[in-house]
Copies of this chain bind each other. A is one copy, B any other.
Amino acid sequence: MNKNSSNMMALAPNTSNKRETVCIFGTGDFGRALGHKMIQCGYPVVYGSRSTQISNLIPKDAEVLSHTEAAQKAAIIIIAIQRQHYNFLTQLEEILHGKVVVDISNNLKLNQYPESNAEYLAQLLPGARVVKAFNTVSAWALQSGALDASRQVFVCGDDMEAKQMVMNIVRALGLTPLDKGSLLAAQEIENYPLQLFPMWKFPVFLSLGLTAFFFFYCLALDVIYPYIYEKNDFSFFIALTIPNRVCPVMALTLLGLVYLPGVLAAIIQLYRGTKYRRFPDWLDKWMLCRKQLGLIALAFASLHAVFTLVSPIRSFVKWRTSKTIISQALNNKTEPLDTTNAWLSDSYLALGILGFFFFVLVGITSLPSVSNSVNWREFRFVQSKLGYVTLILSTAHTLVYGGKWFLSPSAYKWYLPNIYMLSLVVPCVVLVVKFVLIFPCVDKPLTKIRQGWERNPKYSE
């Protein structure tokens, strides 16, 4: 019907000759693995190589020719060569003119070169239609067929049609192409496989540090103190009792740290009277890892829940229970039901369960597929409103759990407060400041500032 589609038809295979020939420059590991896979999927593959001697490593159905001959046989040339050897391609510029040249290279470090490898290739070969693809797939995965990980292949390029052709190959290999736009995206695509949970590093190290601190704090007060002063060997507390003290403390503290930057940002904006100045760097970074902090808090909360539920099965707890009952039986007395105690015990459990329930809800909405299916307003509702409900319930759970204990001297071994009191510091600060921020006299100017109003417009230059 139009030039474009007829062109596609000419390049696309007809049913009698299903796949078009693909040329691969370079007979290194990834080049061979990709060639293997393509031959399996029905593509005729021709290798371009300096020497045609090393052909015994190469898939047997593939041809090996010189670079020039190989490039002439195919409309698509895959460059499976390292960036430092790209130079020689300039000799082939004429043959590669108008052809689809696929850059699949990766670097060893983030932002190793000023421009991405694909953009560098496009500069060397101005007449070729350069497409970036396949760099996120490992040779091992291609070879073994163990593609149970992400099947996504990021593709970018300035030529729509060339990109379509490469995306068709990607699909034919059983992978999912993802169009990332023009060749400008190549830098990002090349950095992608080099990352190992970059957003998680700070939250994980913070959690490990805090966990270690709280663990030794507990160890001192719950194991070493009774051993020294009461000659009791509670060393087995290390296995389960102390973890079940550290987990809730970590969960509550981290949850507080999720909401602290939000109230700090509000205070800064109120103070500055504008939203058009950037936050300090540390606050920006903190705000960007709130999701990770929250998920780690959820992990600690889950562990706390299971540790608590498992307690009636513990040998120590069973022993303590039977000791209490036997001593009552031997003294021939039955204690009446203490209603206040029943109230406290039940409400502290109920608050904890509800807090955990809302926490899990917030956690589920942070799954990529769920957060993509809600709009901004709904996401804010869940993450902000339900998040604060979680924080309030968890703080109340801890307060009711502690009860009047903070008044008793036994809570202060070695003049140190019990660990549950430490966990209340951050969330209480957040809740008090947030409570102040929702007063109309504070909320109104803040809302105006967030809508773009400025107290002293001169500040914004």
Assuming the contacts A376-B193, A452-B28, asked whether A8 and B461 have C-beta atoms less than 8 A apart, the reply is no
Complex interface bits, A299-326 against B, C-beta within 8 A gives 1, otherwise 0: 1001101111111111110110111111
A445 within 8 A of B: no
A122 within 8 A of B: yes
Q: Is the CB of B8 within 8 A of A140?
A: no
Assuming the contacts A184-B18, A353-B306, A381-B196, asked whether A334 and B342 have C-beta atoms less than 8 A apart, the reply is no
Residues of B within 8 A of A18 (CB): 184
Q: Is the CB of A377 within 8 A of B326?
A: no
Q: Is the CB of A8 within 8 A of B343?
A: no
Q: Is the CB of A383 within 8 A of B149?
A: yes
Q: Is the CB of B319 within 8 A of A144?
A: no
Binds B, one of A161-169, A221-229, A409-417, A424-432: A161-169
A350 within 8 A of B: yes
Q: Is the CB of A5 within 8 A of B160?
A: yes
A444 within 8 A of B: no
A87 within 8 A of B: no
Residues of B within 8 A of A159 (CB): 1, 5, 8-9
Q: Is the CB of A309 within 8 A of B310?
A: yes
Q: Is the CB of B162 within 8 A of A345?
A: no
Contact among B57, B316, B329, B366 for A337, CB-based, below 8 A: B316
A404 within 8 A of B: no
Q: Is the CB of A236 within 8 A of B343?
A: yes
Between A18, A318, A345, the greatest number of chain B beta carbons within 10 A of the residue's beta carbon is seen for: A345
Size category of the binding interface on chain A: 35 or more
Q: Is the CB of A327 within 8 A of B334?
A: yes
Residues of B within 8 A of A184 (CB): 13, 18-19, 168, 172
The B-contacting residues of A in range 103-120, CB under 8 angstroms, are 115, 119
Q: Is the CB of A141 within 8 A of B315?
A: no
Contact among B327, B339, B366 for A233, CB-based, below 8 A: B339
Q: Classify the secondary structure of A's interface with B.
A: helix
**Closest B residue to A453 using CB positions:** B29
A397 within 8 A of B: no
Q: Is the CB of A164 within 8 A of B160?
A: yes
A287 within 8 A of B: yes
Q: Is the CB of B15 within 8 A of A377?
A: no
In the complex, how many angstroms separate the beta carbon of A322 from the nearest chain B beta carbon? 5
Q: Is the CB of A137 within 8 A of B376?
A: yes
Q: Is the CB of B122 within 8 A of A197?
A: no
Complex interface bits, A406-443 against B, C-beta within 8 A gives 1, otherwise 0: 00000000000000000000000000000000000000
Q: Is the CB of B329 within 8 A of A326?
A: yes
A49 within 8 A of B: no
**Closest B residue to A290 using CB positions:** B148
A182 within 8 A of B: yes
Assuming the contacts A149-B383, A329-B326, asked whether A370 and B368 have C-beta atoms less than 8 A apart, the reply is yes
The B-contacting residues of A in range 342-395, CB under 8 angstroms, are 342-347, 349-350, 353, 356-357, 361, 366-381, 383
Assuming the contacts A172-B184, A369-B367, asked whether A377 and B3 have C-beta atoms less than 8 A apart, the reply is no
Residues of B within 8 A of A356 (CB): 306
The B-contacting residues of A in range 1-34, CB under 8 angstroms, are 1-5, 7-9, 12-13, 15, 18-19, 28-29, 32-33
Binds B, one of A63-71, A206-214, A238-246: A238-246
A332 within 8 A of B: yes
Docked pose: A13 CA to B115 CA in angstroms: 14
In the complex, how many angstroms separate the beta carbon of A106 from the nearest chain B beta carbon? 11
**Closest B residue to A241 using CB positions:** B346
Docked pose: A192 CA to B378 CA in angstroms: 11
3 closest A-B pairs by beta carbon, nearest first, are A369-B369, A29-B452, A315-B345
Given A197-B378, A303-B353, 12 additional A-B pairs, CB 8 A: A1-B162, A3-B3, A5-B162, A28-B452, A137-B376, A148-B288, A171-B181, A195-B377, A306-B353, A329-B329, A368-B370, A368-B373
